[in-house]
Amino acid sequence: MKLRKASAAAAAALVLALTATACGGGDKDSDSDTGSGSGSGGGDKIKIGIKYDQPGLGLKEPDGSFSGFDVDVATYVAKELGYDADQIEWVETKSADRENALARGDVKLIAATYSINDERKEKVDFAGPYLLAHQDLLVKSDSDITKATDLNGKKLCSVTGSTSAQNVKAEIAPKAQLREYGGYSECIAGLQSGAVDAVTTDDSILAGFAAQDKYKGQFKLAGLKLSNENYGIGIKKGDTATADKVNKALEKMVADKAWQKAVDDNFGPAEYKNEPAPQIGNIVK
């Protein structure tokens, strides 16, 4: 009789232990599937792809911290998804590897000056856009370059392999002297020294460089709007649930003025004349 009672008690304890384990495992899997963290410094992490070398947008600082508009937007979105700032793992994501990084699952989101276009939409889903940028020129503050055709006979810089400078030379200023450097920081240094007369890429990227303390007051944006670049947050193809949540977070960021604050904080010193916050799903061609 005593043996029977002991066996029944052991069996009941085993059932309770298995039930608790199953419940705990179910909760963790649910967080993973929905992309929502536990918040308040819990154990879950979210990996977000950014650039490490674009001041004002995505920059890894010497102390290991991260700054920039893309970082601020991604941090806000992550919080709305349930992740505290210390639960974000920032992953350097080069432009050429963005689609593969999402497909492999290396990152959950990508906020890295990622322009939405039809070709990319075949491979990934996008939330946003969260910023409308334009191809522009950065010149010295006292430069007489006010329009793209003024580049004829001038030295125009962009990074090796970029289509932006090549498009200007082919379509607008065929007599421009194209200089291709390894990175935009080299182009900016060349502009400062007088080795080049203008630098071209997205105005947001140019504004980020111009806003650095060491360059304040030296440069200006020409404000030419040579193209429309709709920045979106990249998400793995087919993950519509996450895309919907990110879109809601972006709408909230605009509504509570945090979006404009991020623009002012990161681009303000360059006197960047940003477009108003774009409406979700409104892609400007």
- In tens digits, the chain (285 residues) has pLDDT values of 444 444 444 444 444 443 444 444 433 333 334 455 655 444 599 999 999 999 999 999 999 999 999 999 999 999 999 999 999 999 999 888 999 999 999 999 999 999 999 999 999 999 999 999 999 999 999 999 999 999 999 999 998 878 888 889 999 999 999 999 988 999 999 999 999 999 999 999 999 999 999 998 999 999 999 999 999 999 999 999 999 999 999 999 999 999 999 999 999 878 788 999 999 999 999
Report the alpha-carbon distance of residue 13 to residue 283 in Å, rounded: 59
Two tokens at 42? 């819990």
Please tell me the distance from the alpha carbon of residue 133 to that of residue 191, in angstroms, as a whole number: 22
Domain definitions of the chain by residue range = 46-132+230-270, 135-221
- Kindly report the pTM of this predicted structure: 0.82
**Using one digit for the tens of pLDDT, what is the confidence trace for 182-217?**
889 999 999 999 999 999 999 999 999 999 999 989
What is the CA angle 30-74-95, rounded to 5?
A: 105
As a whole number of Å, the CA-based R_g of the chain is: 24
Number of Cβ within 10 Å of residue 50's Cβ equals: 27
186 token code pair: 């080299």
Please measure the distance between the N-terminal and C-terminal CA atoms of the chain and give it in whole angstroms.
82
Quote the longest CA-to-CA distance of the chain: 103
Contact present, 138 and 220 (Cβ < 8 Å): yes
Closest CA to 94 of 135, 133, 53: 53
Q: DSSP letter at 143? A: -
Positive or negative, the CA dihedral 206, 207, 211, 215 is positive
Question: Is domain 135-221 classified as CATH 3.40.50.150?
Answer: no
CB neighbourhood size of 153 (10 A): 10
Do the domains spanning 46-132+230-270 and 135-221 agree at the CATH topology level? yes
3-state secondary structure of 103: helix
d(CA 139, CA 91): 32
Coil, strand or helix: which one is 198? strand
The CATH code belonging to domain 46-132+230-270 is 3.40.190.10
